[in-house]
């Protein structure tokens, strides 16, 4: 049965507390920082999409120059605080740490980054100066990581930036799309405020492109436009029963979680989660932590091909989630159709999956799943779809933006086919990490500055 209020306040508090707690003391941070070898042309830096000078910021912790350390991080990545909590570091900086080659535990880079950036945010250090206003104006669509990163870079150069955000809060998927035990809504709000405290950045909330504003208006009223509206539409399974009561998409599920009290959120007794990306793991673990009795992740390939990291998979396993590899959903079965049911088709009772086997590698280089013809039936009362997100293809087409399946086409990383209109982040790459979006925001700002001046 799908119901809310399954746990006590204490249980919710415990289940959604920080999964990667910070260093408890300065000494603890120093011990870890002192382990860093201070590599030259460091593999960790090279593995960071924003190129944070990791050895330098860690060295600055050891010299008790925390202000310098935070400056080093934010200079490359203005969302360095949030990234320290949400980056899949085991496949980025920490995965490249040379200690891995010594069979030693890699430096806890994210934790150290969190240490410096949290102090900076707490003390509200203004680490960057904004140049005097140039009188030039740039409009940015979307106050997510790409938009904020672009805005901050532009503001430093004296540009007056206006961000149009369709939601009521900034931060984008950081605020609305990530498991609650990684970042809290309060942190996301602090981070947005910290970034915009440089001045020269005006965020207009509840302003959706195509509804409240048009691209033409922005082009007419600003010296340049940066599009960073992300992706958002959940990929449909396109199977019978998908419209039954109890089938939800992971993005909406996590969005609800991020915008409501935990106790208000309803979850099933037996939940199936389709997919094995980061969002699937987030949805599965959050469902379990909301009190679902049984959560099963279903993925059509094997662990070898899964998009999430091993670390994330382990979180799901430790939370007690079941995993079924090599299975793909075929049909959702329901009962109890009622007249007051909006879709009139009743509640989910079963998920039918077809078992798969691995065939030849596909375009992604991963071995593709091939149906075996055999099916299995899972008794479930809730199905969460986390099979990926789709770009806003209609929005691209309506605005005459060149795109491939909705992903905006850009030249030199940032320029769209429309003059003075630049784009970056998920709406271009189709959905990557926060840290990738931050870098594309920087690239966009650089291109815009070249265009304006």
Partner 1 sequence: MADISANFLGIKSPNPFWLASAPPTDKKINVLRAYEAGWGGVVWKTLGSQVKNVSSRYSAVDYGGHRVMGFNNIELISDRPLDINLKEITEVVKLFPDRAMIVSLMADNNREAWHELIQKCEDAGAMGFELNFGCPHGMTERGMGAAVGQDPHIAKMVVEWVMEKATIPVITKLTPNVHSVVPTGRAAVEGGTNALSLINTIQSVTGIDLDTLVPNPYVAGKSVFGGYCGPAVKPIALKMLTTIAQDELTSRVPISGIGGISTWKDAVEFMLLGSTTVQVCTAAMKHGFRIVEDMCEGLNNWMDEKGYQTINDFIGKSVEKITHWEDLDINYHHIAKINQDKCIHCGLCYIACEDTSHQSINIAKGNPYNTYTIKEEECVGCNLCKLVCPVDACITMEEHRVAPEYINWKQWQERGLPLNDH
Q: Which is nearer to partner 1, 92 or 321 (CB)?
A: 92
Q: Which is nearer to partner 1, 60 or 350 (CB)?
A: 60
Nearest distance, CB of residue 4 and partner 1, angstroms: 46
C-alpha torsion 152→158→162→165, nearest 10: 0
Q: Which is nearer to partner 1, 37 or 335 (CB)?
A: 37
- Beta strands 389-391 and 231-234: pairing type? antiparallel
Nearest distance, CB of residue 443 and partner 1, angstroms: 19
Nearest distance, CB of residue 49 and partner 1, angstroms: 12
Q: Which is nearer to partner 1, 342 or 365 (CB)?
A: 365
Per CB under 8 A, residues contacting partner 1 are: 30-31, 33-34, 37-44, 46-47, 62, 96, 98-99, 101-102
Nearest distance, CB of residue 39 and partner 1, angstroms: 4
Nearest distance, CB of residue 98 and partner 1, angstroms: 4
Q: Which is nearer to partner 1, 15 or 47 (CB)?
A: 47
Nearest distance, CB of residue 42 and partner 1, angstroms: 7
Nearest distance, CB of residue 121 and partner 1, angstroms: 24
Q: How many CB atoms lie within 10 A of CB 318?
A: 9
Partners of residue 201 on adjacent β-strands: 161
CB-count exposure of residue 405 (10 Å: 0-12, 13-18, 19+): exposed
- Beta strands 294-298 and 270-274: pairing type? parallel
Q: Which two tokens stand for residue 89?
A: 């570091």
Q: Which is nearer to partner 1, 40 or 340 (CB)?
A: 40
Q: Which is nearer to partner 1, 47 or 113 (CB)?
A: 47
Q: Which is nearer to partner 1, 31 or 343 (CB)?
A: 31
Nearest distance, CB of residue 92 and partner 1, angstroms: 10
Nearest distance, CB of residue 110 and partner 1, angstroms: 17
- Residue 101 CB partners (closer than 8 Å, separation 6+): none
Q: Which is nearer to partner 1, 100 or 409 (CB)?
A: 100
Through-space distance between the first and last CA atoms of the chain, rounded to whole angstroms? 61
- Residue 380 CB partners (closer than 8 Å, separation 6+): 268, 270, 271, 272, 296, 348, 349, 350, 351
Q: Which is nearer to partner 1, 29 or 351 (CB)?
A: 29
Nearest distance, CB of residue 38 and partner 1, angstroms: 7
Nearest distance, CB of residue 95 and partner 1, angstroms: 9
Q: Which is nearer to partner 1, 77 or 285 (CB)?
A: 77
């Amino acid at each position: 049965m799908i119901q809310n209020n399954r746990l006590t306040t204490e249980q919710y508090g415990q289940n959604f507390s920080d999964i990667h707690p910070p260093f408890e003391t300065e000494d603890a941070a120093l011990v870890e920082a002192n382990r860093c070898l201070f590599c030259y042309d460091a593999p960790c830096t090279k593995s960071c999409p924003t190129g944070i000078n990791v050895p330098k910021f860690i060295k600055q912790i050891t010299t008790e120059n925390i202000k310098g350390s935070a400056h080093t991080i934010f200079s490359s990545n203005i969302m360095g605080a949030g990234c320290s909590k949400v980056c899949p570091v085991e496949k980025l900086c920490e995965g490249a740490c040379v200690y891995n080659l010594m069979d030693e535990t890699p430096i806890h880079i994210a934790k150290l980054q969190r240490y410096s950036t949290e102090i900076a945010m707490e003390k509200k250090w203004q680490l960057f100066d904004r140049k005097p206003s140039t009188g030039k104006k740039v409009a940015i669509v979307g106050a997510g990581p790409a938009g904020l990163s672009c805005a901050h870079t532009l503001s430093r150069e004296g540009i007056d930036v206006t961000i149009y955000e369709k939601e009521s809060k900034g931060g984008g998927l950081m605020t609305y799309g990530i498991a609650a035990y990684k970042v809290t809504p309060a942190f996301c709000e602090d981070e947005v405020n910290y970034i915009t405290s440089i001045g020269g950045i005006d965020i207009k909330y509840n302003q959706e492109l195509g509804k409240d504003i048009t691209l033409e208006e922005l082009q007419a009223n600003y010296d340049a436009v940066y599009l960073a509206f992300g992706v958002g539409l959940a990929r449909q399974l396109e199977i019978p029963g998908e419209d039954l009561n109890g089938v939800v998409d992971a993005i909406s599920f996590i969005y609800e979680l991020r915008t409501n009290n935990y106790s208000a959120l309803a979850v099933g007794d037996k939940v199936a989660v389709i997919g094995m990306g980061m969002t699937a793991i987030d949805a599965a673990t959050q469902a379990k932590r909301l009190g679902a009795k049984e959560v099963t992740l279903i993925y059509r390939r094997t662990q070898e091909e899964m998009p999430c990291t091993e670390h994330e998979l382990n979180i799901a396993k430790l939370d007690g989630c079941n995993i079924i590899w090599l299975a793909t959903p075929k049909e959702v079965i329901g009962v109890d159709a009622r007249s007051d049911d909006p879709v009139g088709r009743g509640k989910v009772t079963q998920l039918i999956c077809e078992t798969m086997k691995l065939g030849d590698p596909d375009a992604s280089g991963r071995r593709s799943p091939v149906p075996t013809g055999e099916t299995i039936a899972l008794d479930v009362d809730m199905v969460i779809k986390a099979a990926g997100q789709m770009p806003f293809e209609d929005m691209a087409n309506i605005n005459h933006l060149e795109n491939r399946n909705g992903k905006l086409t850009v030249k030199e990383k940032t320029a769209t086919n429309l003059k003075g209109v630049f784009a970056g982040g998920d709406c271009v790459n189709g959905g990557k990490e926060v840290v990738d979006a931050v870098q594309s925001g920087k690239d966009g700002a650089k291109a815009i500055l070249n265009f304006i001046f």
